[in-house]
Amino acid sequence: MSLRAFIQDHHEEIVSEFAVFAKTVMPAGADMTEVELRDHAEELLVAVVRDMGISQTEAEEYRKSQGSGSAKTMASSGQRHADHRIQHGFSFRSVLAEFRALRATVLRLYEESGASDLTDVRRFNEAIDEALTESMERFALQTDLFRDQFVGVLSHDLRTPLGAVIAGAALLAAAEDNPDRRARVVIRIMNSAQRMERMISDLLDLTRARLGGSIQLKRRAADLRRVCEEAIMEIRAGHPDVRLQFEASGNLQGEWDVDRLAQVLTNLIGNAIQHGSGTPVTVAAHDQGDVVRLAIRNGGDPIPPELLPRIFEPLIRGGAAGTSRSIGLGLFIARAIVSAHGGDIQVSSAAAGTTFTAVLPKASSQ
């Protein structure tokens, strides 16, 4: 039996083995389902079989072995695989491991079947190598782009509070006896310093999550109703003109990291205020047995459909350019914290408004 026919006949077995391995290299906190893992393996295998079925001359075979073939049958599937893995926090080493595992699985099963078609094995390796090359090139391109965007956004957003600190310090250094003015300047400096401190904390959380780690939690018995009330009170102090509504029902007791959940609330409510166009923001916490459902909604313009799949990724900002007051990590960190609690967070957006919904288990599964 040819290897091409073998792959088609043993498609399910190959994909199942690959999905099991892919789970072992999946970053902590990644929300990929087994269906998603299988879908990408299936897409790669379909492309491989298609590539192996294309006739090629000796010259084309040689060019392809050098990585300069003209057909580029594997290009799109390799690039899409890289894009998807980048969105879920995979490292390039994890992607390399996936390709090695896929290659090893197919060749091992083919060898165990007793079949031997060296021509097809060579064509299979050529196809896998082409997909791998395309994935690594896309990975390098996206990583460079991410780095450049990150440095640009960070330097831009740090400049505003840093400028306020410098200007405030200059005013305090001036020989002037105006206690009220000096008090206002001190408050402005403290607020700016706190903004920079939050940015640094966000960067540390991003680094932990991107390196495959998870956000550390300090769980204790707590009432989510109280956590919500305190977070809303703090936000109202900074946004006195915003209409904030709170709804709660049932038993909201659980074991959570209170500070981290307050961070989730602050990020989600702040995002709802920023993009709510002045509409009321509603925070709702409801008991649903073993979990609590937490929802934050506003009545602003809907999130563009093309942005929704990437809304929780870092540096993704809604609204007009220049309107964001953060470095674009709030939603990413909110998802990481919810995932660390064993929960899930989703977003829905329509003409009536946008709702972020987090489902939080009341007890740790560990």
Angstrom distance (rounded) from CA 242 to CA 280: 7
pLDDT at position 287 is 96
pLDDT band at 328 (very low <50, low <70, confident <90, very high): low
Q: What's the distance, CA 100 to chain centroid?
A: 25
Q: Tell which wins on pLDDT, 127 or 158.
A: 127
Across the chain, which distance is largest between two alpha carbons, in Å? 93
**Burial profile 334-346: b = 16 or more Cβ within 10 angstroms, e = fewer:** bbbbbbbbebebe
pLDDT at position 349 is 93
Q: Is 349 helix (H, G, I), strand (E, B) or coil?
A: strand
Is the pLDDT reported for residue 120 higher than 60?
yes
Q: Tell which wins on pLDDT, 198 or 285.
A: 285
Q: Is 326 helix (H, G, I), strand (E, B) or coil?
A: coil
pLDDT at position 24 is 80
pLDDT at position 100 is 87
Is the pLDDT reported for residue 249 higher than 60?
yes
Q: What's the distance, CA 69 to chain centroid?
A: 34
287-314 confidence digits (pLDDT tens): 999 999 999 999 988 998 888 877 887 6
Q: Is 338 helix (H, G, I), strand (E, B) or coil?
A: helix
Integer distance in angstroms from the first to the last C-alpha of the chain? 48
Instruction: Please return the burial class of 30, using the count of CB atoms within 10 Å of its CB with bins 0-12, 13-18 and 19+.
Output: middle
Cβ–Cβ < 8 Å for 322, 339? no
Query: For residue 223, which phi and psi values (nearest 5 degrees)?
Result: -105, 115
pLDDT at position 356 is 96
Is the pLDDT reported for residue 253 higher than 90?
yes
Mean of pLDDT values over 58-81: 69
Is the pLDDT reported for residue 213 higher than 50?
yes
Cβ–Cβ < 8 Å for 185, 171? yes
Length of the chain: 366
Contacts of 49 (CB under 8 A, 6+ apart): 4, 7, 8
- Strands of the chain (E only): list them: 220-223, 244-249, 253-256, 281-288, 291-298, 344-350, 353-361
pLDDT at position 154 is 64
83-98 confidence digits (pLDDT tens): 777 777 677 788 888 8
Average pLDDT over all residues of the chain:
81
Angstrom distance (rounded) from CA 162 to CA 280: 32
Q: Which tokens sit at 179?
A: 């206690």
Q: Which of 69-78, 113-122, 145-154 is the least confident region?
A: 145-154
Q: What is the DSSP letter of 176?
A: -
pLDDT band at 135 (very low <50, low <70, confident <90, very high): confident
DSSP letter for each residue of 102-170: HHHHHHHHHHHTT---HHHHHHHHHHHHHHHHHHHHHHHHHHHHHHHHHHHHHHHHHHHHHHHHHHHHH
Is the pLDDT reported for residue 20 higher than 90?
no
Q: Tell which wins on pLDDT, 196 or 153.
A: 196
Angstrom distance (rounded) from CA 13 to CA 174: 76
Q: Tell which wins on pLDDT, 33 or 3.
A: 3
Give the dihedral of Cα atoms 280, 283, 288, 290; nearest 10 deg: 160
pLDDT band at 131 (very low <50, low <70, confident <90, very high): confident
